Amino acid sequence: MTDTLIDGLYREGEPIADTKAPKGVDISQMWTQRKFDAALVNPANRRKLDVIIVGTGLAGASAAATLGEAGYNVKSFCYQDSPRRAHSIAAQGGINAAKNYKGDGDSVHRLFYDTVKGGDYRSRETNVYRLAEVSANIIDQCVAQGVPFAREYGGLLDNRSFGGVQVSRTFYARGQTGQQLLIGAYQALERQVGAGTVKMYSRHEMLEVIVVDEGDGPRARGIIARDLVTGEIETHLADVVVLATGGYGNVFFLSTNAMGSNVTAAWRAHRKGAYFGNPCYTQIHPTCIPQSGGHQSKLTLMSESLRNDGRIWVPKRAEDCDKDPRDIPEEDRDYYLERIYPGFGNLVPRDIASRQAKNMCDEGRGVGPAVDGVRRGVYLDFADAIARLGEDAVRAKYGNLFDMYERITGENPYQVPMRIYPAVHYTMGGLWVDYDLQSTIPGLFVTGEANFSDHGANRLGASALMQGLADGYFVLPNTIRDYLAKGPFEKLSEDHPAVVQAQREVQERIDRFMSINGTRSVDSYHKELGKIMWEKCGMERTEEGLREAIEEIRALRADFWSNVRVLGTPEGLNQTLERAGRVADFLELGELMCIDALHRRESCGGHFRAESQTEDGEALRHDDEFAYVAAWEWGGDESAPILHKEDLVYEFIELKQRSYK
Amino acid sequence: MKLALSIWRQENPSAPGRMVRYDVDGVSEDSSFLEMLDLLNEQLTEKGEEPVAFDSDCREGICGMCGVVINGEAHGPERTTTCQLHMRSFKDGDEIVIEPWRADPFPVIKDLVVDRGAFDRIIAAGGYISANTGSAPDAHATPVPKENADRAFMAAECIGCGACVAACPNGSASLFMGAKITHLGELPQGQPERWSRVAAMTEQHDSEGFGGCTNLGECTRACPKGIPLNVISQMNADLRRAGYGR
């Protein structure tokens, strides 16, 4: 480890190597080989093994269902009232699979290639190949469960193309693909609940992971959870713990995430020794409904498919921005994407579309209501499409999206151009995992959006649903058995010192929240943090801005711990207390995100470092310096975090600069 | 906007509840109904009064977590989820009565939050297709006629919010049940368990304390996803075919 602080902020530790992917085998055989090498657990022994799975989205519900079917003794946890509410349910577009049902040249290798390239060469080759490989099985599994994918008249499954990809490989269920996939996984989970192999704990929140060292090194052996209805602090012990707890986009306060989406489970594990990979990798989605005022609690995504027919523009002159857009003549409009990127036009990738929208608004040419003095919106105009195709044809294609827009904004998009603005959507960072999806704490596995592994710096459309289900149905159940074959581990008693300590930590934290009795609400801190993060660690970052952000977050955190107001009691349902815990963790994560963003002095995917751009203002990667995963180790409350680098080695794909000009 | 709210406050499941009046000021007509409650809660926190507990999560109309009775109507005056109801549907100075879902099988946990665990137990009783992971045939092995696929999809749009139960004078969950039975019953994959599924789910429904359906149709009028009443006739037809109750 380096002795002195780098940039005054962090230390550098030993590099890490992912050793679990089989060596000396062609990439197409690695997963087969790993499955074969992983030890088996006799069916009669499985019921003696206890598995805890936190989170019931696509990754968590599918894993719980699959491990329950296999005969393990599963406990499943979610903070919502039902596992069916997990935020995977809100995904709209679709799920990719290399089925080549259209005969248009798709293959496992092509899906693999597209995904690595779409991740701007910052994802791990071996994991992405496996993801592409199992993608076809996911569709089979979901169809068998009754997921109602769109079909053609012949009764076969329909596909569409998505996000700049040149083949049709996206399976979908109207704009509700996430809901239908989740309901499939949820029903499979409930089937196991009915069968008694899974015990479900809804309205429970994991607040600590129990890590025990019995002489052979640390192991995750359980969790401390709070029953959100009774307030009771519960201890749950197991042989292995799986976190499938989603992403942390809510650190920005305004995002497309659900209100309850949080980082607590992952952050608590990080503080206990699990490395956090690429925390600054956030995907910003270009087509969201803009913020309308300070009252707003979340942002709503509009499907990207709108960019197929809508034209994006802003007024050429700032003084036209408060005019009715219909009164601005053609020659006074700037169709900036068509102007700057004539080849791709309005269909440039998400990161480029997002950044240019921000540039237009920063120049003072944004439209719509001003929030904090700045108009943050650009027009997405269907007037040409309506003139060309007719209103009925546009309605048939996009009617539900237009209705949703009208409901939220009160404006009729058939008559007035829609307004859109980028918003935080998905986090590609998360707990670092190896090829087996195991974190740096043995016995703690991490799946889906909660881990960092497969999307690299820029998540492609229709790939997140694929990863959630790949991890839960196919990858984890095969890798976790290798770990479980060493169990059952020695029975742990609830008065083991490590368990008692974890219980005490949780209790002290709650007591502290209840006793501060300050003057500021939890939400006001969350909003202020979000603003810092969005302005200084969002789409565009600068060295100076990030340094300011780190100072501001530290000051805000200190104020939070002395002045936050949590009313009510810790017994029973207390939603303010729940939020206080989550915001406290966001206040720590936010600083690490800024440190990670600061140290990565390159522009990559959605993360634009102003200091690293080409002559014509495009993102400039530095593969010689930054082709690695940044895995951060918790340095302690008073110490700086420690950076471990995992070099990304591309043996099967050549690194290239992306270009959309 | 300035509004006068009457809200059901109940400390815990066993405490008695009561309506409490609150005035809330500075409500934007662009805010959602839940954001209006957020604002009320900020104002209550400032005064040192405990905020009103209510459920919400995705706030984009798909997770099904939110739901309150507004002026006597489940999810309020428009056919949508509470999170997608906006304050421009109300007028400055309006009085609004806000209550939790009312039904015996949905006990109140606190204020506007109820326990809908009964829905999960109905699904656990048989609301699925048994398909173990890893053994599925190729997805194209069984073609599904488009009409069936579309009807299955329409029924599968149910978000399990519970508005149908809250709106039903009998406290029946028949629309929820019918939606799931129609979704799975329209598909070839759902046929092997079709009759045992409807029987098992109905038994669970009745044992949870939900009432019977008398075809009043309040459920479908309150349903934010527009699940049609004919899924209930489908359920009843399937029940007869299953020989249930003989």
Number of domains in chain A: 2
The yes-or-no answer on residue A271 being catalytic is no
Q: Which of A400, A424, A448 is the last residue of a domain?
A: A424
Q: What percent of chain B is predicted at pLDDT more than 90? A: 98
- Residue B182's domain comprises 116-130+142-245
In-domain check, residue B108: no
Strands annotated E in B57-184: 69-70, 73-74, 95-99, 108-110, 113-114
User: Domain check: are B17 and B94 in the same one?
Assistant: yes
Residue A163 has pLDDT above 80, yes or no: no
Mutate: best of A177, A191, A287, A480, partner B, most B CBs <10 A: A191
Number of domains in chain B: 2
Cα A163 from Cα A305, distance rounded (Å): 8
pLDDT at A398: 87
Output the domain CATH number for residue A394: 3.90.700.10
Cα B28 from Cα B43, distance rounded (Å): 15
Distance in Å, alpha carbon of B57 to nearest chain A alpha carbon? 5
Question: A572 vs B110: CB contact, 8 Å cut-off?
Answer: yes
Q: Which residues contact B166 (CB under 8 A, 6 or more apart)?
A: B67, B69, B74, B101, B102, B103, B106, B222
- Please name the amino acid found at residue A90: A
Mutate: best of A575, A577, A582, partner B, most B CBs <10 A: A575
Output the domain CATH number for residue B178: 1.10.1060.10
- Residue A522's domain comprises 497-628
Residue of A nearest to B155 (CA): A148
For residue range B85-128, what is the model confidence (pLDDT) as tens digits?
Answer: 999 999 999 999 999 999 999 999 999 999 999 999 999 999 99
User: Domain check: are A418 and A543 in the same one?
Assistant: no
pLDDT at A660: 65
Distance in Å, alpha carbon of B216 to nearest chain A alpha carbon? 28
In-domain check, residue A136: no
Cα A300 from Cα A290, distance rounded (Å): 8
For residue range B27-40, what is the model confidence (pLDDT) as tens digits?
Answer: 999 999 999 999 99
Cα A114 from Cα A116, distance rounded (Å): 6
User: Domain check: are B76 and B125 in the same one?
Assistant: no
What's the mean pLDDT when you consider all of chain B? Answer: 96
For A620, phi then psi, to 5°, come to -120, 115
pLDDT at B246: 46
CB B189 within 8 A of CB A184: no
What's the mean pLDDT when you consider all of chain A? Answer: 95
Question: A293 vs B28: CB contact, 8 Å cut-off?
Answer: yes
Q: Which of A424, A444, A464 is the last residue of a domain?
A: A424
Q: What percent of chain A is predicted at pLDDT more than 90? A: 87
Residue located via tokens 């405490």: B15
User: Domain check: are B59 and B123 in the same one?
Assistant: no
pTM for the whole structure: 0.97
Which two three-digit tokens encode residue A598?
Answer: 């600061």
E strand or H helix that includes residue B232: helix B230-241
User: DSSP character for A225?
Assistant: E
User: Domain check: are A413 and A505 in the same one?
Assistant: no
Name the catalytic one among A85, A219, A350, A376.
Answer: A350
What are the chain A neighbours of B86 within 8 Å (beta carbons)? 407-408, 410
Compute how many other C-beta atoms are within 10 angstroms of the C-beta atom of residue B226.
10
Residue of B nearest to A297 (CA): B35
Cα B231 from Cα B201, distance rounded (Å): 14
Q: Which of A394, A424, A454 is the last residue of a domain?
A: A424
Nearest to A139 among B31, B45, B139 (CB): B139
- Would you give the distance in Å from CA A413 to the centre of its chain? 30
User: Domain check: are A508 and A596 in the same one?
Assistant: yes
Q: What percent of chain A is predicted at pLDDT more than 70? A: 99
Question: A565 vs B45: CB contact, 8 Å cut-off?
Answer: yes
Residue B245 has pLDDT above 60, yes or no: no
pLDDT at A661: 63
B contact residues 127-156, partner A, Cβ 8 Å cutoff: 127-134, 136-140, 142-146, 149, 152-153, 156
What are the chain B neighbours of A186 within 8 Å (beta carbons)? 123
Residue B53 has pLDDT above 90, yes or no: yes
- Please name the amino acid found at residue A335: Y
What are the chain B neighbours of A573 within 8 Å (beta carbons)? 12, 53, 109-110, 113
Output the domain CATH number for residue A535: 1.20.58.100
Distance in Å, alpha carbon of A133 to nearest chain B alpha carbon? 14
pLDDT at A293: 86
Distance in Å, alpha carbon of B174 to nearest chain A alpha carbon? 18
In-domain check, residue B162: yes
Interface confidence (ipTM) of the complex: 0.98
List the beta bridge partners of residue A218: A213
E strand or H helix that includes residue A314: strand A311-315
Output the domain CATH number for residue B76: 3.10.20.30
User: Domain check: are A605 and A521 in the same one?
Assistant: yes
Nearest to B128 among A137, A148, A191 (CB): A191
Give the CA distances from residue A127 to residues A18, A139, A239, A254, A655, in Å, rounded to whole numbers and listed in that order: 11, 19, 25, 31, 17
User: Domain check: are B123 and B241 in the same one?
Assistant: yes
User: Domain check: are B62 and B29 in the same one?
Assistant: yes
Listed range (A78-92, A366-380, B163-177) with the worst mean pLDDT: A366-380
User: Domain check: are B61 and B121 in the same one?
Assistant: no
Nearest to B183 among A87, A101, A148 (CB): A148
Question: A145 vs B56: CB contact, 8 Å cut-off?
Answer: no
User: Domain check: are B18 and B86 in the same one?
Assistant: yes
CB A182 within 8 A of CB A64: no
Q: Give A385's Cβ-side CA count (13 Å radius).
A: 22
Question: B60 vs A80: CB contact, 8 Å cut-off?
Answer: no
CB A282 within 8 A of CB A534: no
For residue range A465-485, what is the model confidence (pLDDT) as tens digits?
Answer: 999 999 999 999 999 999 999
CB A530 within 8 A of CB A251: yes
User: Domain check: are B158 and B221 in the same one?
Assistant: yes
Cis peptide before A342 (omega within 30 of 0): no
CB A356 within 8 A of CB A420: no
Closest CA to A298 of B40, B88, B34, B3: B34
In-domain check, residue A454: no
CB B75 within 8 A of CB B222: yes
In-domain check, residue A294: yes
- Would you give the distance in Å from CA B101 to the centre of its chain? 9
User: Domain check: are A372 and A290 in the same one?
Assistant: yes
Residue A617 has pLDDT above 90, yes or no: no
